[in-house]
Chains A and B, each alone.
Chain A
Amino acid sequence: MRKPISRRDVLKGSAALAVGTVFASPARAAAPEPVAITPDLVAAATKEGKLVFYSSMDLPVGEKLGKAFEAAYPGITVQIERSGSERLFQRVAQEFDSNIHAADVVNSADASHFIPWKKSGWLMPFVPEDVAKHFPDNYRDPDGMAVTTRLWLSSIAYNTNLVKAEDAPKSFADLLDPKWVGKMVKGHPAYSGTIMTTTFQIVRELGWPYLEKLAKQRVMQVQSSTDPPKKLSLGERAVMADGNEYGIVLLKEAGQPVEPVYPTEGTPTISGPTGIFAGAPHPNAAKLFQAWLHTRETQQFFVDFTGQYSLHAQVQPKAGRRKLSDIRLMKEDPAGVEAMTEEIKTRYARLFRV
């Protein structure tokens, strides 16, 4: 049997580093009572029979998660709507403004999205038992509107067929070397929440001049942060300036010629919170999914097959993978992202001309 884990242990855990506060604690918080997965909940969810999950997770990863849920609860089908978080945000706004409630559960790669959603009253408070017991406070909304399901990085990476290890960039500053002109690929902050968060952290740490210089390197621009790792493994570009580190890790494990680089300035860190929409067409299925998603079993399974990190205190990192505590991380700040979103989109578009 596993021994009970205290709050102190949680703080020492590999994932729960103090890399920032995703959800600030207000003076008065009113989270609902934690809910366990009961036969009643399962029955009600099965009766609804369907779940619509808006997510920016790399599609094969997201679909695998959906299939795992379908296997755990036969009779409920999961429909996954995958697209960049910034696009999902726009679509949710468009649909809600037209009084269309198609989405049950949302997982965004831009934690700042939950700030306006919560303000508008679009989220349903719900706290799964595991979240109450095993998730650190700074990664869950005090009112129970959302919880950080996954943590991942946006790193540098290179194609080992095209770049020798000793020539590979070690830092963001190295990417400005003229030898990388026309050889890099990166995602776009107007489509991808990961890249929006990454750009915010890079601007904060390195300033706009870094991006001004990077823009002059003729970087190939793609949309989603899930795409650069794929372009790298195809050999389309030699170096990834930003993109999902977990994509690189998974491709490397699959034998593709890619290698992640954790820049010396620090690696941008991204929280992906999940919440239930207040107008969810399948509220019980949504609750069941949210509860199931944050159990130790699901979180362990998720960490093992997606190469991302979990905040669940009992989840163990997969053997052979780099621990989060061994990487120098950049601090998260969703409130800062929210305040700067428009500036980032405008200035980025001006610099990179797209």
Chain B
Amino acid sequence: MTTTTTSPASRPRIDWTRPVLWLFAAVLILLILLPLSWLAVFAFTDKGRHPTLQNFVTLFSNPDFLDPLLTTAIIATTSALICCIVAAPISWLVSRTDMPGRQTIRALVTASFVTPPFLGAVAWELLAAPNSGLLNQLYRLFAGEDADPLFNIYSMTGIIFVISCYTFPFVFVLVANALDTMPGELEDASAILGGNAWTTARRVTIPLALPALVAGALIAFLQAMTLFGSPAILALPAGFHTMTTKIWSLFQYPPKLELAAAAAVPLLVLTVLLLQGQKALLGRRGYSVIGGKYGAPRRVELRGWRWAALGFCLLVLLNPVFLPYLALLNAAFSPNATTLVTPSTATLHNIVFVFTELSSTQLALKNTVILGTATATIGTILALVIAYVTTRKVIAGHRVLGFLATAPVAVPGIVLGVGLFLSYTRPPFVLYGTLWILLLAFLTINLPSAYQQLQAAFATIHPELEEASRILGATRLQALCQITAPLLRTGVIATWCFIFIGVMRELSAAIVLFTSQTKVLSVLIYDLNEGGDLAAIAVLGIAMLVITFAVVLAVNRIPMSGGNAGARLRNG
């Protein structure tokens, strides 16, 4: 559907899709390889650009770097584990059972995904700062004035908790999608052959959902590893560094770009190993679950457990959604960010300040919306084409393309920011100081998850459907438009929203690449946090959430050609 701009080939012999695909490949190579090459150059050279390994020697002989590396490993592993433990049961409940309020739970998970991690971190500061936090104040009402705090968000546990709150939706989306599209017949077959519920789950459902869960765990690990927003807000008061905050501190004047580039290398190596591990684990098994001949999955009846299940989901979602949103709302109307608002103390002062006095508000709002829309549109098209190429193995070297599209996931946004900075501050591409460099950064950062998502969507659509169409005389483009595109509609819209939200969430590259005229909301919020202006953050954060929800809702209502075909197929 995105390729409809090229005119359909009049004669079946000439296949215009190939040159177009090569063009996309070239764009991708430029997009990814240029900043990565600059990073490599800086990691392996000294100030005079003479080759050296000194950066790595400095790095690995210094506890100032080894400690953050260990901290990051602990945070990433624990967060990924927590994300899977929380997301897997919720996605199963939502997708495969008759639990009440399934749509509401989905919406709430989306809400936690939409919440930028740095905003969540600030909200949890309001809730669980050891002394002023609302929850700790509440606890002291019962436990006495001098009781030790119940929660301390400025700690390793606190950071892991906040990261998990805003990373588990990644796992949820992948697993729930896999479960949604799983054919009921396979489970029915197991049941008919005498398998009880547990056997069916063990032999059919779990193996079919496994790729999604593993992919989810991987994404969660990488997200937690490269996340800058939450640690930037919580790690400094907690008194330690993660890799990303350490790398950020290397940009302090005078910037030590060589060390920063070198510090990214272990993260890159680790990611490559993990991706290889994922491949080894899943092997060559095929996981196509949408074909022409399957029906909708059957829902498990929970009977008496229905409400308990809903209670569990709501309890989990208290943490990323209800409590933080309440804390932000409270701070927005409170004269003092962590005093509970009463009708007599409620004030509009913070809102007036943000929208009439704060001079960067309008500019940041405008830039953010422009960048979000542009990145989401371009990114979806790019990811769609790459996913098509790699799943259908259309051109030679498709594996390399797949790798390239996934590679940025290994590069912390902040380091990618430096790579882009190095690439686009010199001819032929002088983009620093314009929105273009931010567009490129956001595109590159969001490409891996967009690609993964669309690739997963493609992988679940068996090529037999396209093949059938082509056997019946359609060109590749016609087959794509008439068969594949309608089936992908949900995936494409989800990916668009995914990228848009990704742009709203993105802080790490923006913090390196912004100038005063290209400021975005995330950077503005970070700057406000630096000065401790929590109430202003609450107001801006709420505005940001409202915009994101409005855009996501609007996009989901866009009618697309053959939009109902997918639904018909699934229901049929």
Binding site for B on A (CB under 8 A): 52, 54, 58-60, 63-64, 66-67, 77-84, 86-87, 89-91, 93-95, 97-98, 100, 102-103, 188, 190-191, 218, 220-224, 226-228, 230-231, 233-237, 256, 345, 349-350, 352-354
B516 and A103 within 8 A (CB): yes
B359-370 to A contact mask, C-beta < 8 Å, 1/0: 110010000000
With A77-B359, A100-B433 known, 8 other A-B pairs at CB within 8 A are: A59-B358, A59-B531, A86-B252, A90-B255, A94-B421, A234-B337, A353-B241, A354-B240
Closest A residue to B536 using CB positions: A59
B516 and A79 within 8 A (CB): yes
B358 and A236 within 8 A (CB): no
A231 and B433 within 8 A (CB): no
When distances are taken between beta carbons in the complex, the residues of chain A under 8 Å from B515 are 91, 95, 100, 102
When distances are taken between beta carbons in the complex, the residues of chain B under 8 Å from A354 are 235-236, 239-241
When distances are taken between beta carbons in the complex, the residues of chain A under 8 Å from B236 are 188, 221-223, 354
Chain A: minimal CB distance from B233 (Å):
10
When distances are taken between beta carbons in the complex, the residues of chain B under 8 Å from A256 are 336
A82 and B531 within 8 A (CB): yes
Q: List 19 A-B contacts (CB under 8 A).
A: A63-B357, A66-B359, A79-B516, A89-B253, A98-B432, A98-B433, A102-B433, A102-B516, A102-B517, A222-B236, A223-B530, A224-B531, A226-B531, A227-B531, A228-B532, A353-B239, A353-B240, A354-B235, A354-B236
If over half of A's interface residues share one DSSP class (helix, strand or loop), that class is named, otherwise mixed; here it is: mixed
Closest A residue to B526 using CB positions: A83
Chain B: minimal CB distance from A241 (Å):
14
Chain A: minimal CB distance from B250 (Å):
11
A79 and B235 within 8 A (CB): no
When distances are taken between beta carbons in the complex, the residues of chain B under 8 Å from A98 are 425, 432-433
B239 and A221 within 8 A (CB): yes
When distances are taken between beta carbons in the complex, the residues of chain A under 8 Å from B338 are 234-236
B359 and A63 within 8 A (CB): yes
When distances are taken between beta carbons in the complex, the residues of chain B under 8 Å from A353 are 239-241
- Does any Cβ of A come within 8 Å of B131's Cβ? yes
When distances are taken between beta carbons in the complex, the residues of chain A under 8 Å from B530 are 83-84, 87, 191, 223-224, 227
A52 and B531 within 8 A (CB): no
When distances are taken between beta carbons in the complex, the residues of chain B under 8 Å from A230 are 532-534
Alpha-carbon separation in the docked complex, A324 to B527 (Å): 31
- Does any Cβ of A come within 8 Å of B301's Cβ? no
What bracket does the count of chain B residues touching chain A fall in?
35 or more
Closest B residue to A90 using CB positions: B253
- Does any Cβ of A come within 8 Å of B249's Cβ? yes
A79 and B432 within 8 A (CB): no
B358 and A63 within 8 A (CB): yes
- Does any Cβ of A come within 8 Å of B251's Cβ? yes
Given contacts A54-B516, A227-B530, contact A349 B64 (CB under 8 A): yes
Q: Which one of B253, B363, B528 contacts A79 once the chains associate, using CB atoms below 8 Å?
A: B363
B357 and A190 within 8 A (CB): no
Binding site for A on B (CB under 8 A): 64, 129-132, 154, 235-237, 239-241, 249, 251-255, 336-338, 353, 357-360, 363, 421, 425, 432-433, 515-517, 527-528, 530-534, 536
When distances are taken between beta carbons in the complex, the residues of chain A under 8 Å from B357 are 60, 63-64, 67
Alpha-carbon separation in the docked complex, A222 to B517 (Å): 27
B425 and A350 within 8 A (CB): no
Alpha-carbon separation in the docked complex, A218 to B154 (Å): 12
Chain A: minimal CB distance from B418 (Å):
11
A350 and B433 within 8 A (CB): no
Most buried by A among B338, B421, B530: B530
Alpha-carbon separation in the docked complex, A84 to B353 (Å): 20
Alpha-carbon separation in the docked complex, A4 to B336 (Å): 45
Most buried by B among A59, A91, A98, A103: A59
When distances are taken between beta carbons in the complex, the residues of chain A under 8 Å from B237 are 220-222
Closest A residue to B433 using CB positions: A100
When distances are taken between beta carbons in the complex, the residues of chain B under 8 Å from A90 are 251-253, 255
Alpha-carbon separation in the docked complex, A83 to B253 (Å): 14
When distances are taken between beta carbons in the complex, the residues of chain A under 8 Å from B241 are 353-354
Chain A: minimal CB distance from B55 (Å):
17
B249 and A190 within 8 A (CB): yes
When distances are taken between beta carbons in the complex, the residues of chain B under 8 Å from A52 are 516
Chain B: minimal CB distance from A272 (Å):
15
B527 and A349 within 8 A (CB): no
Alpha-carbon separation in the docked complex, A222 to B237 (Å): 6
When distances are taken between beta carbons in the complex, the residues of chain B under 8 Å from A58 are 531
Chain B: minimal CB distance from A305 (Å):
13
B516 and A352 within 8 A (CB): no
When distances are taken between beta carbons in the complex, the residues of chain A under 8 Å from B131 are 234-237
When distances are taken between beta carbons in the complex, the residues of chain A under 8 Å from B363 are 79
What 9 A-B pairs are tightest by C-beta distance, nearest first?
A: A227-B532, A230-B532, A234-B132, A90-B253, A236-B132, A100-B433, A226-B531, A223-B530, A63-B357
Alpha-carbon separation in the docked complex, A52 to B517 (Å): 9
When distances are taken between beta carbons in the complex, the residues of chain A under 8 Å from B64 are 349-350
When distances are taken between beta carbons in the complex, the residues of chain B under 8 Å from A94 are 255, 421
Closest A residue to B130 using CB positions: A236
When distances are taken between beta carbons in the complex, the residues of chain B under 8 Å from A82 are 527, 531
Chain A: minimal CB distance from B175 (Å):
37
B527 and A78 within 8 A (CB): no
B132 and A80 within 8 A (CB): no
When distances are taken between beta carbons in the complex, the residues of chain A under 8 Å from B433 are 95, 98, 100, 102
Alpha-carbon separation in the docked complex, A327 to B368 (Å): 47
Closest B residue to A235 using CB positions: B132
When distances are taken between beta carbons in the complex, the residues of chain B under 8 Å from A345 are 252
Alpha-carbon separation in the docked complex, A307 to B565 (Å): 67
Q: Which one of B253, B353, B516, B517 contacts A60 once the chains associate, using CB atoms below 8 Å?
A: B353
Alpha-carbon separation in the docked complex, A105 to B462 (Å): 62
When distances are taken between beta carbons in the complex, the residues of chain B under 8 Å from A236 are 129-132, 338
When distances are taken between beta carbons in the complex, the residues of chain A under 8 Å from B255 are 90, 94
When distances are taken between beta carbons in the complex, the residues of chain B under 8 Å from A66 are 359
